[in-house]
Structure 1
């Protein structure tokens, strides 16, 4: 009996030992298997261009201080043919994301080239390049100096109604802008000229029908993009059927969503579907869309619900100038800027006054610090901005004078002549 008991103990010990060794071996096998899977996944991720691009963007965002992030969210204007101390301060101290030039900044070809080169040189110490932007629509809204190719209004182009010519015009404009050092154009207009009393749009529109505006506007956008210039389509959700100029008042459009979908929004939806990189907002009230009667620029119903969520647009949303009377006469500009960001805008345009530009940046910082604007929301916009700058290869390299040879050349004039055949 005693021998049997000893034998049983020996057998149980052997079995227990086997189980322990077996479990240990199994655990080692599972750990090794898991490690190999993780290594394989990691290798797969690092071989994936989308993963690498996302990681690069996130690293760039993590490298920015709050002030630098907020600076990226504003495009400013200034006075003069040269960089003045106020504008230099905005670049050096506030790390602004971009600049817009107007007629007040442009004297002649050499001066414009030198101005854009000096802007880039001053910005070269900052972490990110600038949007250097302009309104070059053709017709009565043109900024480029004498000697550049001067196209007629979009109304004239709309009468010709040739998609290929519209594309070529966009590419010519983009090519000449690029030669001067611009990388962004606030064009084309996608507003439908459906109200004869509308003087602010008028002949800036391609026409009175959605199809013409949609087709020609998107073709022009594509031409600009293929010249490696960012096209900002405007004025979303449509400024065509207003009789008030938003530079001096606040227009109201009393249409419901169904009407907008079937008319005003058609050109914008087409542009988004065909790869629009950026959209500019209109300072117009749509009371049947936003019962709070906020201008589209400040309306989450318009910018986030329609443009972001319904249309899945993940490009950059830029406001029209916040110093226009449609905003300035009805809101504090700094508060309106915050509302625009909360509504879904990524970049706020403040074109004139240094004090207003600084107030906007300070108010955004204040809202972040007190928790009214989350860092997540700020990072969303900054990510879109950096992504767009990376896509177009923006940098601080200066342009050479010889690059201006393309401006107003015979090839470009031939495209202009096609409009009058």
Structure 2
């Protein structure tokens, strides 16, 4: 693998369109991303989604992470005929980790049926602030131990069916009053409070073997007065890697969200994420910004700001996750897809919480 291809592996990119056009396939071949992420703009019928993911994999020289946000509740990209799953809040209120794991395994069956192998879930944020504008309904609750139990059950349910879970949003977005899509939230708590509440579900999930975590665009002065968590070596390396012992994938939240983009352009943000100890740069839209970020990382390696060894460390983590999870499977037939998507067993499971 060339250095440019190795750098491409450090990116998960969004794209326009819901069909495997020649332009889209050329985009994948040229930029060689480690993965792509799907949004509503990319989604047609189950058969069309399967055709799209199959074409993306065929265009890539290495297996792709194909990611989506399928939490349940209001954050569910896949609409009918896919099963409409209840929110994390409703799942947490039901109080059964067995039910949580069964829901996650069923979500994973539907994802895998159409070629999606990574879910940006579970949410591990502890919702301690009722005025939180972005986490309402998305958290399992206000008790960190309960959030940890359900988060672990959810990621294990996904893993049982071969889907990579991405716990989010480290180090904890539950007590904020600002949406990081719009501005940079500040979390004012001291280290004792952070350790006992915000960090607890992440620490438990790390101990349980969660394969990937997503960063939060948060300023936490008790940890780093200058840099938001996504760009902070103190948070991603000193805290997450060294103190908490996390060896899996660290994925940024979208670098074009205003919590980062207001102060740091995508190229510089991508470099800083990698310097901080992150592995995968998420840029969900804007091909110009994506190319800028890729170029900036390549130039940082060429000038010595980022070492090739640093790139290879993340590349090795990415390759391991792909070897562990991305088993090559034959493309499902229409009959096989429709036997899983929105099937009666999944509908009955979802209705238990209706």
Does residue 247 of structure 1 match 2:184?
A: no
Does residue 204 of structure 1 match 2:138?
A: yes
Q: Could you tell me how far 1:412 is from its partner in structure 2? A: 1.6
Structure 1 or 2, whichever has the larger Rg, is 1
2:213 alignment partner, SS class: strand
Q: Which runs of 5+ in 2 are unaligned?
A: none
Distance 1:192 1:318, change over 3 A: same
CA–CA distance in 1 between the matches of 2:172 and 2:268?
A: 24
2:47 to 90, 97, 110: 110
Q: Is the 8 A contact 2:181 2:259 kept in 1?
A: yes
CA–CA distance in 1 between the matches of 2:332 and 2:58?
A: 11
Q: Report what 1:297 is aligned to.
A: 230
Q: Kindly provide the CA deviation profile for residues 242-263 of structure 1, in whole angstroms up to 9, marking residues without a partner as x.
A: 0000001000101122111100
Q: Report what 1:346 is aligned to.
A: 279
Q: Report what 2:197 is aligned to.
A: 263
Q: Is the 8 A contact 2:170 2:215 kept in 1?
A: yes
Q: TM-score, normalised by structure 1?
A: 0.82
Q: Which sits farther off after the overlay, 111-120 or 375-384?
A: 111-120
Q: Report what 2:2 is aligned to.
A: 65
Q: Is the 8 A contact 2:213 2:249 kept in 1?
A: yes
1:419 alignment partner, SS class: coil
Q: Is the 8 A contact 2:266 2:290 kept in 1?
A: no
Q: Kindly provide the CA deviation profile for residues 112-139 of structure 1, in whole angstroms up to 9, marking residues without a partner as x.
A: 121112212222xx1x110001000000
CA–CA distance in 2 between the matches of 1:85 and 1:354?
A: 16
Q: Is the 8 A contact 2:63 2:326 kept in 1?
A: no
Q: Is the 8 A contact 2:117 2:326 kept in 1?
A: no
- RMSD across aligned C-alpha pairs, in angstroms? 1.3
CA–CA distance in 2 between the matches of 1:183 and 1:80?
A: 20
Q: Could you tell me how far 1:85 is from its partner in structure 2? A: 5.3
Distance 1:364 1:256, change over 3 A: same
Q: Is the 8 A contact 2:256 2:283 kept in 1?
A: yes
Q: Report what 2:66 is aligned to.
A: 132
Q: Report what 2:315 is aligned to.
A: 382
1:149 to 83, 101, 113: 83
Q: How does 1:31-180 map to 2 (within 5 A)?
A: 64-84=1-21, 87-123=24-60, 126=61, 128-180=62-114
Q: Report what 1:399 is aligned to.
A: 332
CA–CA distance in 1 between the matches of 2:329 and 2:106?
A: 23
Q: Report what 2:116 is aligned to.
A: 182
Q: Report what 1:273 is aligned to.
A: 207
CA–CA distance in 1 between the matches of 2:330 and 2:32?
A: 18
Q: Could you tell me how far 1:332 is from its partner in structure 2? A: 1.2
CA–CA distance in 2 between the matches of 1:364 and 1:85?
A: 26
1:203 alignment partner, SS class: coil
Q: Report what 2:261 is aligned to.
A: 328
Q: How does 1:365-376 map to 2 (within 5 A)?
A: 365-376=298-309
Q: Is the 8 A contact 1:106 1:145 kept in 2?
A: no
Distance 1:413 1:173, change over 3 A: same
Q: Kindly provide the CA deviation profile for residues 151-174 of structure 1, in whole angstroms up to 9, marking residues without a partner as x.
A: 111111111111100010110001
Q: Is the 8 A contact 2:80 2:342 kept in 1?
A: no
Q: Which runs of 5+ in 1 are unaligned?
A: 1-63
Indicate the structure with greater helix content.
Answer: 1
Q: Report what 1:313 is aligned to.
A: 246
